[in-house]
Every structure is written in structure tokens, then in C-alpha cells.
Structure 1
Amino acid sequence: MKQFRSLLALCLALCAFTVQAVHALEVVDERGVSVSLPQPPQRIVSLLPSLTESVCALGACGRLVGVDRYSNSPDQVKALPQLGGGIDPNVEAVVALKPDVVLLAKSSRVTQRLEALGVKVLVLEPKSHADVRRVLDKLDQVLGTHEAPRVWRVIDTSVSAAAQSLPASAKGLRVYFEVNNAPYAAGESSFIGETLTRLGVKNIVPAALGPFPKLNPEYVVRANPDLIMVSVRSAQGLEQRPGWAGIRAVREGRICRFSPEQSDVLVRPGPRMDEAARLMAQCIAEQSSKGGQR
């Protein structure tokens, strides 16, 4: 009987170990670092808006316990503790929330400090369409949600539908997308540029200049775009910039000024890229009918 009890105890211990091993997760992040989690995290801190939105799109919004100050979608994350900027958040506030994992960008300055305090960190930073799909898959693996294929399918088919909705007159329209008034532009190689390409328009900023290059304003004057996309945050005084009054887009009033809420959608590489494509397509369709011949 004693031997039977010992054998039973051993079997139970082995079963417990096996269950734990089955649920244990191993994921390689953007640093090439292998991060081990004993089970899908139930308390998550996200310090990048695109990652916050991705977690929610995968159906795990309820697991978020804290976010960076710029995470504002979906609405339910607005009620969560805000932990400062994503690059340099309040480490003490993060640790106090006792997260199972912290999601943050490569550019964050607190990764090593959090790890030194025993906090699990997963570095993920999507910068292209392919990155968005890969990050969704990785988060899906970590969260155990099995929703990534569906979420990506919605994004991909919606971008294609936005492209198909455009009139033939919009094809080849030369576009300048200003990210902010430094001015920084969205080049062909950025995720915004990739969406513009799929919509069938021509970005005046080639991939050779990088994803988000800072431009000499004279460059835009020389490129003479047919259409300008810009946030209302940085559009003030655009027509008064030296030489810009002669740009075709300015002369013919082909300027789309996006609200702050719309701009948030446009500049985040995440699950709302389908909405971003629709916003851009609407702008292109409306503006392509304006003005004279190109």
C-alpha cells in the first residue's frame, strides 16, 4: 500500500510537470532574445499603441492592466492606468502592476531595467505590413487566442477592397504624405507607403530615402505632388511655406487634412490598417476629381 501511494504521488507529480510543460511558452522577440513564459499571460502592460490595439484585436483586451499615455484605442483602454511614454515610462508604476509580461518597442530605454527587476519583457515593433502580420502571429502564440489569421485576413482583404473602390482617374496620382511638419514624410518603404502603393498611387518619396525621411521643403516643391495628405496638427501654414503656393496640390486645393483621431489610425502599424486604407482611399477618390490635368 505504501509503495502504491508513493507510485501514485510520483505519477501526479509527473502529470503536473507535463501539464506545466505543455502550457509553457517560448517566443523569440525583435532582439532575437528567447522569452519564456510559464503560461499565457493574464496581466499585460503594453507600452506601444499598435501593440495595445493588437492585443485587443486578438480578443485579449481584458488582460491589459496598464498602457502608455498614447494608447487610446479601443475606448476601454482609456480607463487603464497610464504609465508615461513608451520610450521612457514610469518603471516603478509598471512594476507595481505586477505584470506577467510587458510589451514594448525596441526604442524603449527601460527594457534592461525592467528585466533586472525580474519583469518579463517582450520587444515587438511592427514597421511594415509583413511586420504587422508577424507580430500578430507572435502575440497570438503568446496569448493563446488563435485569432491572428482572421484578424490579418480582415486587414488584407479590406486594403484590397479599398484599392478596388478607387476610380481609374485616381491611378498613378502622385502623393505626398506628411507625418509631421519638420517635415518628415512617409516614404515608399514605410507601412504607410506600402498602403499607398496597394491603392495604386505614386509616392513622391522613393524607398531609397528610407521609411520616414526628414525632407528639405524644397524637395516637395520640386516633386510637385498632385495630392497632399497631412494631419491638421501639422497643416497650419502649409500654403505659406516658401514656394509651396506653386505646388499643384496646393494650387488646386488637393489637400486632405486628417483629424487627430484619423491621424492616430493612419500612423499606427497595427490592426486598424484596414481603416487607414479606407481613409486614404476616400481622400484619393475625393481629390482625384479636382483641378485640371496632371
Structure 2
Amino acid sequence: MKKFIGTGVALVTPFNKDTSVDTSALANIVSHVIEGGIEYLVVLGTTAESAVLTTEEKQLVIETVVKANNKRLPIILGIGGNNTAAVVAEIKATNFDDIDAILSVSPYYNKPTQEGIYQHFKAIAEASPKPIVLYNVPGRTASNMLPETVIRLANDFENIIAVKEAAGDIVQAMRLLKDAPKDFLVISGDDMIALPMTLAGGAGVISVIGQGYAKEFSEMIRFGLVGNVAEATKLHYKLMPAIDYIFEEGNPAGIKAVFEKLNLSTATVRLPLIEASDSLKQKLNDFTDSLNS
């Protein structure tokens, strides 16, 4: 699964001012990240505000990204939830002709045991015609998928090929890296520790900020993958302030403010999220100007 080594980006769903899906902006964002050197695209993850999209809008997003991508980069599609049967049914009803893998989040809100998490992904693995990237993000799900559960799944199912690890815990990430089977990918889901994880043996990142500053962020990860610590850390420290800024008022409000500055989309989000404040926009605008100067 070398196609998923490097920087993937969790694409936003850009909206018009009336909150309808802006397909032109989405196509432009896809071109922006491809031209910036990103290795793969992730569609309909959390950053896409998928929780507030209708079924028809989700299909529109997929079709728009597939067309704009024009087979240039691999595509991972987010299909997950806390109702195992519904996730399995969605997988069985999905057309995967232009999709390379599935990103599936650990069940949220229900707070299952580790055995419950294992059985959830067992059912998904048995239903999926495509490789699966597990997604651990305890800050959103209220439960932590432990390394031993991830490794058990990786050993038991050939089509579970990776984990997007977003616990924000470098020690937990290193336990995964130490014990994971050969060729299983440990991908950072946290922009701030993406470089340390990569330098410790990780496969890169599925990034939020990487779609705004695609060239700099993807270069940083490529330097990390080949062990060029000096160049990688130089870029990491350069980007650090913006990583803090984009999550300051929630995701994707921050990254959408970056896109507004770059004239790629509006900063509009859907309730219950709200648009970035003027003060945050100013900080991001100043950072963007300094990066490009």
C-alpha cells in the first residue's frame, strides 16, 4: 500500500454563502493540493463536515472529487459510524469504481469495549471490497482504540492495511510502530505530531493543514520519510503557529478561513459549527502572507 505513504489530505466540503455545496470551489481545492505535491485524497472525513451533509450531497462531493482528480491520485472514502449494521449496509451499497480504500472511524458515543471495537471492524472487514484504514480519534469518539486492538485487527484481516492514529499521544503511536505487522501503515491523524511519528517509522499523515499549505507540509513529510531531520524540522517549526491557529476555533472553521484567504472558497461552515472569528482570520491571513513572502 505504498500509495498511502506520504501526505493525504482530509478534504473540506466548501459551501456557498447560502451553505449549499460549492462544487467549483471543491474542484479548485483538489487541483490546489495536487499541484502542491500531496500524495492522496481523503473524501468525506470529519473535516468534510460529513455529519451535516445529506446522502445526495455526499454523492455530489464524491462525484466532484473523482472528476477533478481525473485518476491522478488515490482516493480514500470515509465510511464509518456507531451503528455497525448501517456501516456494513452503506459499504454494500457503495460504488467503489474510483475509490482505492475506506477510512472508517472507531464507533463514537456508544463507548464500546475493545472487544466491541474489534467486532465492529471485523464486520466491516468482512463486508468491504476495498482496503480499510482504521481511524482512532478518542477526542471525538470518547473511546480509545488501543494499540493491541489495532494490531489484533491488522493480524487477523488482510484488508485492514493501516490506522490513522489521532490520539495525540506519541507514546501510543510508538507502541503501534513497534508492534505492527510488516507493511501495516501507521499514519498520523494529528498535524502537530505528524513529523515525529514519521521520523519514528510512520507512513506520513492524513492532514488538515496540508490542504492549505500543501507544498510546505508535503515537503516536510517527504523529508521526514527519508530521514532528513534538519530540513523537515525547519519546515515543522515554520508551520507550527498555523497548526495551532487552524484548530483554535474548531475544525474545519480554521482551514476554511485559510481557503478564503487563498481565494479558493468561502469560510462558510454549517451549524452547529460557526465561521472563524475576525481575529482568527487575521492571524491566519498574516501567517499566510509571511509564508508566501
TM-score, normalised relative to structure 1: 0.27
TM-score, normalised relative to structure 2: 0.27
The structure with the largest helix share of the pair is 2
Larger Rg: 1
